[in-house]
Amino acid sequence: GAGVSQTPSNKVTEKGKYVELRCDPISGHTALYWYRQSLGQGPEFLIYFQGTGAADDSGLPNDRFFAVRPEGSVSTLKIQRTERGDSAVYLCASSLRVAGGPTDTQYFGPGTRLTVL
Amino acid sequence: AQTVTQSQPEMSVQEAETVTLSCTYDTSESDYYLFWYKQPPSRQMILVIRQEAYKQQNATENRFSVNFQKAAKSFSLKISDSQLGDAAMYFCAYRSAGTGNQFYFGTGTSLTVIP
């Protein structure tokens, strides 16, 4: 597609459940990023991929959070044993390459709003 | 870690007037990038303007321009001839030019445009 897409747009789940959030980057973009945006805050970095590998996962808050990008395109953010504090908008972004010059501009998707009851 | 501060939670401007949004940042690096992103209610972050720290000239994109003061670590956004469609949350962001490609975002400024 023309832009970054994320599904679902909204997800409501119960405390303790498992959820998966999907991101489809712009075609040809090698770098993919996940951010979490809590209410009234700016996005906070979670993880980024260069190709299929996680180049930096230092932003993942704990081991309940995991992300994969098996074929270097679509990525899935997985959250186990969800907690109410996980409620936020999860944003995905992609860029043509990781760093250097105008090709590293990150383009964001519309996000998935996760609500944990 | 780098920090980005936006001290104006809310701003308003009359249509066709000019408004300036403030941003300061803290870093020990000499080479980095600064960005302003716009986030309308649709949640999609849209790049407004970008500045490379090694460039002395302030970036300009149509009605949007920045005042980049490297020594003061200040990066303000000026919106000229404000339009109703400019109403949104505006986030200032920092990214290192070296290793580590993550953005550091401020807490945002909510801009209201008054008809």
Q: How far apart are CA B103 and CA A93, in angstroms?
A: 11
Residue B78, min C-alpha distance to chain A (Å):
20
User: Residue type at A6?
Assistant: Q
A77-108 residue pLDDT tens? 999 999 999 999 999 999 887 555 555 788 99
The residue among A78, A95, A93, A88 whose CA lies nearest residue A6 is A93
DSSP 3-state of A103:
helix
A42–B97 CB contact, under 8 Å: no
Element (H, E) at A46: strand A44-50
Name the DSSP class of B115: -
Indicate the DSSP class of residue B3.
Answer: E
Please enumerate residues of A whose Cβ is less than 8 A from a Cβ of B. 31, 33, 35, 40-45, 48, 55-56, 59, 89, 91, 93, 98-100, 102, 104-111, 113
- Kindly determine whether residue A109 and residue B103, on different chains, have CB atoms separated by under 8 Å: no
Q: What is the pLDDT of residues A37-79, one digit of tens each?
A: 999 899 999 999 988 988 889 899 999 999 999 998 999 999 9
Percent of chain A with pLDDT over 70: 94
B25 bridge partner residues: B4
User: How many angstroms separate the Cα of B72 from the Cα of each of A99, B22, B25, B26, B75?
Assistant: 25, 12, 9, 10, 9
Q: How many residues does chain A have?
A: 117
Q: Are strands B88-96 and B103-105 parallel, antiparallel or unpaired?
A: antiparallel
Cβ pair A91, A9 in contact under 8 A:
no
Say yes or no for a CB contact (<8 Å) between B102 and A56: yes
Distances (CA, A) of A103 to A6, A37, A107: 22, 24, 11
Q: Which positions of chain B have pLDDT values less than 50?
A: none
Contacts A–B by Cβ distance under 8 A: 59
Distance, in Å, from the CA atom of B48 to the CA atom of B52, rounded to the nearest integer, reads 14
